[in-house]
Amino acid sequence: MKYIYDLHNTMLNENLILVYEGEFTQEITKSVLAMAERNMDSMGEESSTKRKVFNVMVECLQNIVKHGEEHRNSDDPSKNNAIFMIGKREDEYLVISGNPIKDEHISSLKEKLEEINSLDKDGLKQLYKSIIKSGELSDKGGAGLGFVDMARKSGRKLLYDFHPMTDQYSFFSLTTVIARA
């Protein structure tokens, strides 16, 4: 049972105010968003900060649900699970997500993230408009619009990592840092 204490200490040390790990559905996503909103309301957070955090949360959770659907019929139930966390520091929030992805998607995803991280505020605005105008969006997204929006809302680089899980899957972690107003 020491792992519970260790987990509790990790959450305290990392200032995590919300953690969910498991399968993500639209219903679970709505619940996670509602819990986070109540949490920020109870802390008296500024509405402009809440809007930015909420927007980034929605984008992260949509990505998790989208990629979860890709693996729903997998023989390995761990490929359906993802993690979502919110941390709060004195002057910023961290929205952290992680989910399994197929290795074949890593290079294109990394390319999109590197492009987004290379741009300044005006460049992000132009890329956002370009994606919308070009009609690159499909029913499942895929054009990186959500990542662009997250970078625009946070005003910071998106932090990411890929950790190998199996010979076909890696765990994609994404952290977005949002300054408190």
Enter the pTM of the model.
0.88
> Quick one: three-class SS letters along 34-88?
HHHHHHHHHCCCCHHHHHHHHHHHHHHHHHHHHHHHHHCCCCCHHHHEEEEEEEE
Burial 9-38 (b: 16+ CB within 10 A, else e): eeeeeeebbbbbeeebeeebbeebeeebee
Average of pLDDT values for 50-66?
91
Q: What is the pLDDT of residue 72?
A: 53
More confidently predicted of 133 and 88: 88
Starting at the edge strand found earlier in the chain, the sheet holding 92-102 runs: 16-23, 81-88, 92-102, 169-179, 159-164
**Over the stretch 164-178, which tens digit does the pLDDT of each residue have?**
999 999 999 999 999
The dihedral region occupied by 155, where left means phi > 0, alpha psi between -120 and 50, and beta the remainder, is left
Pair 172, 68: CB distance under 8 Å: no
Pair 102, 70: CB distance under 8 Å: yes
More confidently predicted of 141 and 160: 160
Best CA proximity match to 175, nearest among 131, 117, 101? 117
Between CA 98 and CA 105, with CA 102 as vertex, the angle to 5 degrees is 95
Q: What is the pLDDT of residue 161?
A: 97
**Over the stretch 119-132, which tens digit does the pLDDT of each residue have?**
999 999 999 998 88
Domains annotated on the chain, with CATH? 2-179 (3.30.565.10)
pLDDT > 70: percent of the chain: 87
Q: What is the pLDDT of residue 118?
A: 97
Give the C-alpha separation, 55 to 149, whole Å.
8
Average of pLDDT values for 47-58?
94
| pLDDT at residue 141 tops 70 | no
Q: What are phi and psi of 117, to 5 degrees?
A: -70, -20
Pair 82, 64: CB distance under 8 Å: yes
**Over the stretch 75-113, which tens digit does the pLDDT of each residue have?**
665 556 899 999 999 899 999 999 998 999 999 999 999
Q: What is the pLDDT of residue 133?
A: 85
